[in-house]
């Protein structure tokens, strides 16, 4: 009796429904169920293995970053592969379902559902696989940038973002060619040849973009400035935040961001303010006429003494009379600040302290009968 039951069970698994065995349907359902249950643990394991290949003993230290960068794309890639394996158990059924489209006198086009499934999953596999690789590049960039910041390696801090963006761009271009050749059956060598011929026209149309791209490499090789340094281009002054393919971003003292094309930075006269040891500053005060020579001489001496006493102002401190207007003349106070500034000190705070001290001295002289104004 047990032998008969076993034969019945085995025959049940071999029964055919719509061109497929019952066992194939069960395999399909089983693989999908296992995928839903184990996709997260498998993705976490693969993310941990990937991180260990990048940096030894880095998993526990960077666990949160690894989960944020690598976990989701790996989970989607694993899920796509296992779903494809599950549906492949029903390839006989999928191949029997076809879409017929009339092509007129030239015949008709027959597309099997199995072929559509293969191409869709192949497309998704390439997308998610490329996503995993690019996130892996992001993780390597995160580790190398952290090390460069710890070592205060400005050259590496400046170069790493450009390398990361270029690597990801190349990966997505290769992925696009892979999709065109494998999914849409495009003749990729012929396409590349056509792009090479049309490349001249594209280069002419994107002349400025190409110039800015090569200007970025000029900046990185000649190093007229680095990330974190203060530069001045014409009337624009700010701290370099990022050097990109097309442009460089500066941040002004008031928080405004300037996006400057790289070509402008290499073709115009540029001042690297961080390369100097001292930084010159200036305050202009408008003084009304009517002050005597002795009072003005005494005022100049007091202003110079007060500004010199402010830390970390450095000498020389100069107080001079410049332009004369209809009702006032200008008193110009020039002083020097060290570069870089001392810790826990900002340029805005120092300028405010100097301006307030000058206003205090001028106000004190105004109480003695000398009409004084500031601007």
Position 315 scores a pLDDT of 85
Nearest alpha-carbon partner for 73 in 134, 152, 114: 134
Position 5 scores a pLDDT of 46
Nearest alpha-carbon partner for 303 in 338, 348, 333, 347: 333
Position 4 scores a pLDDT of 47
> Do residues 89 and 29 touch, judged by C-beta distance below 8 A?
no
Considering only residues 339 and 23, tell me which one the structure prediction assigns the higher pLDDT.
339
Position 278 scores a pLDDT of 82
Considering only residues 18 and 114, tell me which one the structure prediction assigns the higher pLDDT.
114
- Give residues with Cβ within 8 angstroms of 290, minimum separation 6: 370, 371
> Do residues 284 and 330 touch, judged by C-beta distance below 8 A?
yes
Q: How far, CA to CA in Å, does 29 sit from each of 11, 189, 331, 342?
A: 19, 41, 87, 68
In the chain, where the domains are located: 2-201, 213-274, 276-366
Position 57 scores a pLDDT of 46
Q: Report whether pLDDT(86) > 60.
A: yes
> Do residues 206 and 200 touch, judged by C-beta distance below 8 A?
no
The span from the CA of 32 to the CA of 29, in Å, is 5
Q: Report whether pLDDT(198) > 80.
A: no
Tens digits of residue pLDDT in 166-184: 899 889 989 998 998 888 8
Task: Report the pLDDT averaged over residues 308-317.
Answer: 89
Cis peptide before 316 (omega within 30 of 0): yes
Tens digits of residue pLDDT in 104-150: 555 555 667 677 778 888 899 999 999 989 988 888 888 888 888 88
Question: What's 311's DSSP letter?
Answer: T
Position 260 scores a pLDDT of 92
Tens digits of residue pLDDT in 218-261: 888 788 888 888 888 888 888 888 888 888 999 987 888 999 99
Q: Report whether pLDDT(19) > 50.
A: yes
**According to the CATH classification, is domain 213-274 in 2.30.30.60?**
yes
Tens digits of residue pLDDT in 251-281: 987 888 999 999 999 888 888 887 777 888 8
Number of other residues whose CB lies within 10 A of the CB of residue 285? 22
> Do residues 165 and 213 touch, judged by C-beta distance below 8 A?
no
Position 209 scores a pLDDT of 78
Q: Report whether pLDDT(55) > 70.
A: no
Task: Report the pLDDT averaged over residues 73-99.
Answer: 73
Mean pLDDT for the chain overall: 77
Structure tokens at 350: 């120092």
- Give residues with Cβ within 8 angstroms of 363, minimum separation 6: 372
Position 374 scores a pLDDT of 40
The residue whose two tokens read 């997505």 is 172
**According to the CATH classification, is domain 276-366 in 3.30.70.100?**
yes
Give the confidence band of 152 by pLDDT, cuts at 50, 70, 90. confident
- Give strand pairing partners of 258: 250
Q: What percent of the chain has a predicted confidence (pLDDT) above 70?
A: 71
Task: Report the pLDDT averaged over residues 74-89.
Answer: 79
State the burial class of residue 256 (Cβ atoms within 10 Å of its Cβ: 0-12, 13-18, 19+): exposed
Q: Where are the alpha helices (DSSP H) in 327-368?
A: 347-366
Position 175 scores a pLDDT of 92
Structure tokens at 307: 């500004």
Question: What's 109's DSSP letter?
Answer: E
> Do residues 143 and 56 touch, judged by C-beta distance below 8 A?
no
Annotate 38-47 with b (16+ C-beta within 10 A) or e (fewer).
ebeebbbebb
Position 307 scores a pLDDT of 92
Position 369 scores a pLDDT of 37
Position 62 scores a pLDDT of 61
Position 253 scores a pLDDT of 78
Task: Report the pLDDT averaged over residues 350-375.
Answer: 70
């Amino acid at each position: 009796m047990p032998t008969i039951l076993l034969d019945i069970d085995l025959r049940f698994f071999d029964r055919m429904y719509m061109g497929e065995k019952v066992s194939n349907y069960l395999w399909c359902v089983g693989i999908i169920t296992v995928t839903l249950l184990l996709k997260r643990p498998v993705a976490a394991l693969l993310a941990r293995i990937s991180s260990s290949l990048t940096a030894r003993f880095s998993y526990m230290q960077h666990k949160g970053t690894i989960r944020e960068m690598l976990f989701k794309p790996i989970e989607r890639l694993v899920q796509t592969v296992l779903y494809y394996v599950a549906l492949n158990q029903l390839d006989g059924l999928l191949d029997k379902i076809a879409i017929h489209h009339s092509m007129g006198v030239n015949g008709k086009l027959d597309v099997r559902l199995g072929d559509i499934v293969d191409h869709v999953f192949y497309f998704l596999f390439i997308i998610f696989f490329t996503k995993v690789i690019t996130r892996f590049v992001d993780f390597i960039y995160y580790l190398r940038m952290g090390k460069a910041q710890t070592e205060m390696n400005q050259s590496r801090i400046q170069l790493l973002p450009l390398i990361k963006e270029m690597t990801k761009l190349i990966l997505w271009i290769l992925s696009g060619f892979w999709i065109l050749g494998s999914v849409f059956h495009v003749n990729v060598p012929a396409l590349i040849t056509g792009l090479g011929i049309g490349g001249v026209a594209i280069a002419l149309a994107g002349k400025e973009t190409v110039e800015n791209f090569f200007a970025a490499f000029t900046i990185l090789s000649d190093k007229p400035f680095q990330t974190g340094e203060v530069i001045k281009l014409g009337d624009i002054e700010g701290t370099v935040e990022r050097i990109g393919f097309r442009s460089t971003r500066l941040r002004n003292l008031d928080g405004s961001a300037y996006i400057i094309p790289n070509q402008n930075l290499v073709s115009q006269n540029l001042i690297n303010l961080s390369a100097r040891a001292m930084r010159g500053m200036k305050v202009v005060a408008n003084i009304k006429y009517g002050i005597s020579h002795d009072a003005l001489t005494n005022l100049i001496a007091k202003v110079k003494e007060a500004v010199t006493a402010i830390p970390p102002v450095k000498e020389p401190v100069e107080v001079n009379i410049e332009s004369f207007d209809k009702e006032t003349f200008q008193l110009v106070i020039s002083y020097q600040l060290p570069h870089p500034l001392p810790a826990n000190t900002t340029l805005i705070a120092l300028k405010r302290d100097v301006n307030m001290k000058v206003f205090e001295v001028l106000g004190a002289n105004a109480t003695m009968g000398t009409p004084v104004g500031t601007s």
